[in-house]
Amino acid sequence: GAVVSQHPSWVICKSGTSVKIECRSLDFQATTMFWYRQFPKQSLMLMATSNEGSKATYEQGVEKDKFLINHASLTLSTLTVTSAHPEDSSFYICSAVDMGNYGYTFGSGTRLTVV
């Protein structure tokens, strides 16, 4: 089945630094990937839609300059949290759309802790 690899699975960074999270579709091409954020004991909230070769579309309230998304190829999207602060600590999850099989596959998530 379709596999989405998300890396790293967890990261701890200092306040003010930047962190990059990678989302790769391993066995299919994904023109569209989604980035979600999940706070403890809460649901997944869409942050942005990432389309290969074009600018990401951000949801209302999500700072595009803080959460930089790059979807440079059909198999890779990255989310960079710039100048991270403790309130950015969360579980970040990507999902990729398999255009060939009408499938959505989620990555395993990245636990970001900003100290």
Residue ranges binding other proteins (CB under 8 A): 6, 31-32, 34, 42-46, 49, 91, 93, 95, 97, 99, 102, 104-109, 111
Nearest approach in angstroms of CB 83 to other proteins is 26
Nearer to other proteins by Cβ, of 47 and 84: the residue is 47
Nearest approach in angstroms of CB 106 to other proteins is 4
For residues 20 and 63, give the distance between their C-alpha atoms in angstroms, rounded to a whole number: 16
Structure tokens at 74: 């059909």
Helix spans in 1-115 (H): none
Nearer to other proteins by Cβ, of 31 and 80: the residue is 31
Nearer to other proteins by Cβ, of 13 and 44: the residue is 44
For residues 39 and 25, give the distance between their C-alpha atoms in angstroms, rounded to a whole number: 24
Print burial letters for 83-103: b (CB count within 10 Å at least 16), e (below 16): ebeeebbbbbbbbbbbeeeee
Nearer to other proteins by Cβ, of 45 and 72: the residue is 45
Nearest approach in angstroms of CB 63 to other proteins is 18
Centre a 10 Å sphere on the Cβ of residue 6 and count the other Cβ atoms it contains: 21
